[in-house]
Structure 1
Amino acid sequence: MLPIRERRTSTDRRKNDEAIAAELAVALAEGQIEILFQPQFFCASDALAGAEALARWNHPVRGRIGAETMFALAARAGMSEALTRRIASQALAAAAAWPADLRLSLNVTASDIAADDFATVLADVIARSDFPAERLTLELTEQALVRDMEGSAEQIARLADSGVRFALDDFGAGFCNFRYLKILPLHYLKLDRTMVEGIVNDARDLAVLRAIVAMAGALDLAVIAEGIESEAQLEKVRAEGCALFQGFLRARPMEAASFARFAHDGE
Structure 2
Amino acid sequence: MTRVARGIFFPVIGLYVLGAFYLLFTEAQLSIPVVAHISMGCVLLLAVWWMSRAAKEQPLDAAFNDMPQALGLFDAGGNLTVSNREFAEFFDLRHGHHQPAVPYHELERRLSDDFNMLGILRRTRERMLAGDVDYAYETRDDGRVLSITHRPTEGGGAIVTFHDITERRFADLRVGFLASHDMLTGLLNRRAFRDKIETALSGSVTGSLEIAVLFMDLNGFKSINEVQGHLAGDALLCMLAGRIKAALPDNCTAARVAPDVFGVLQAGVEQPLGISTVAKTLTERIAAPLELDDTVLRMTASCGLAHLKIAHASADPVEADDLFKMAELALSHAKDEGRSTLRIFEPQMATTADKRRQMEIAIREAITMDLFEVYYQPYMNIRQGGVAGCEALLRIHHPSLGLISPLDFIPVAEEIGAIGEVGAMVLRRACQAAVNWPRDIKLSVNVSPLQFAGRDFLHDVSDALAMSGLSASRLDLEITESALLADTDQTLTLLRKLLALGVRISMDDFGVGYSSFNYLRRFPFDRIKIDRSFVRDVASHEDAIAIVRAATSVAASLGMIVTAEGIETQEQLDRVRAGGCAEAQGYFFCPPIRAENLPGVLRELARDTRAVA
The TM-score with structure 1 as length reference comes to 0.88
Give distance in 2, aligned partners of 1:77 and 1:17.
Answer: 11
In the alignment, what sits opposite 1:68? 407
In the alignment, what sits opposite 1:149? 488
Amino acid at match of 2:594: E
**Alignment of 1:234 onto 2:576:** no
Give distance in 2, aligned partners of 1:228 and 1:19.
Answer: 33
In the alignment, what sits opposite 1:188? 527
Q: Secondary structure at the match of 1:182?
A: helix
Structure 1 residues 11 and 127: CA distance shift in structure 2, 3 A? farther
Q: How far has the Cα of 1:88 moved from its partner?
A: 1.1
Q: Secondary structure at the match of 2:536?
A: coil
Comparing 20-29 with 167-176, greater Cα deviation is found at: 20-29
In the alignment, what sits opposite 1:96? 435
Give distance in 2, aligned partners of 1:203 and 1:264.
Answer: 36
Gaps of 5+ in 2: 1-188, 198-256, 259-320, 333-354, 608-613
Amino acid at match of 2:425: R
Residue among 79, 87, 93 paired with 2:426: 87
**Maintained 8 Å contact 2:431/2:465:** yes
In the alignment, what sits opposite 2:473? 134
**Maintained 8 Å contact 1:139/1:169:** yes
Give distance in 1, aligned partners of 2:446 and 2:415.
Answer: 19
Amino acid at match of 1:219: L
Q: Secondary structure at the match of 1:196?
A: helix
Comparing 37-46 with 61-70, greater Cα deviation is found at: 61-70
Residue among 52, 57, 60 paired with 2:396: 57
Give distance in 1, aligned partners of 2:494 and 2:527.
Answer: 17
CA deviations over 1:112-138 (Å, ceiling 9, x no partner): 122123112221122111321110101
Give distance in 2, aligned partners of 1:21 and 1:233.
Answer: 38
CA deviations over 1:225-258 (Å, ceiling 9, x no partner): 0111111221222222211100111111111111
Give distance in 2, aligned partners of 1:113 and 1:70.
Answer: 18
Structure 1 residues 206 and 78: CA distance shift in structure 2, 3 A? closer
- RMSD over aligned CA atoms reads 2.7
Give distance in 2, aligned partners of 1:243 and 1:261.
Answer: 24
Structure 1 residues 242 and 18: CA distance shift in structure 2, 3 A? closer
Give distance in 1, aligned partners of 2:361 and 2:540.
Answer: 50
Residue among 541, 550, 556 paired with 1:202: 541
In the TM superposition, structure 1's runs of 4+ consecutive aligned residues that sit over 6 Å from their partners are 10-13, 16-22
Give distance in 1, aligned partners of 2:591 and 2:602.
Answer: 14
Structure 1 residues 18 and 225: CA distance shift in structure 2, 3 A? closer
Greater relative CO, 1 or 2 (CA 8 Å, sep 6+): 1
Give distance in 1, aligned partners of 2:583 and 2:560.
Answer: 12
Give distance in 1, aligned partners of 2:356 and 2:416.
Answer: 5
Structure 1 residues 171 and 177: CA distance shift in structure 2, 3 A? closer
**Maintained 8 Å contact 1:108/1:140:** yes
**Maintained 8 Å contact 2:373/2:394:** yes
Give distance in 1, aligned partners of 2:440 and 2:585.
Answer: 17
Structure 1 residues 199 and 76: CA distance shift in structure 2, 3 A? closer
Q: Secondary structure at the match of 1:229?
A: coil
Gaps of 5+ in 1: none
Q: Secondary structure at the match of 1:173?
A: coil
Q: Secondary structure at the match of 2:379?
A: strand
**Maintained 8 Å contact 2:458/2:498:** yes
Amino acid at match of 2:570: E
In the alignment, what sits opposite 2:378? 39
Structure 1 residues 234 and 52: CA distance shift in structure 2, 3 A? same
Give distance in 2, aligned partners of 1:264 and 1:93.
Answer: 20
**Maintained 8 Å contact 2:359/2:409:** no
**Alignment of 1:121 onto 2:497:** no
Amino acid at match of 1:149: T
Amino acid at match of 2:404: I
**Maintained 8 Å contact 2:445/2:477:** yes
Amino acid at match of 2:446: N
In the alignment, what sits opposite 1:258? 597
Give distance in 1, aligned partners of 2:598 and 2:457.
Answer: 28
**Maintained 8 Å contact 1:114/1:148:** no
Give distance in 1, aligned partners of 2:553 and 2:575.
Answer: 14
**Maintained 8 Å contact 2:535/2:564:** yes
**Alignment of 1:178 onto 2:178:** no
Q: How far has the Cα of 1:177 moved from its partner?
A: 4.3
Q: Secondary structure at the match of 2:581?
A: coil
Amino acid at match of 1:184: F
Amino acid at match of 1:30: M
Count of residue pairs brought into register by the alignment: 265
**Maintained 8 Å contact 1:196/1:205:** yes
Q: How far has the Cα of 1:35 moved from its partner?
A: 0.9
The TM-score with structure 2 as length reference comes to 0.40
CA deviations over 1:159-215 (Å, ceiling 9, x no partner): 111111111110112323433212222111100011122222333322222122111
Q: Secondary structure at the match of 1:55?
A: strand
Percent identity between the two aligned chains: 31
**Maintained 8 Å contact 1:43/1:237:** no
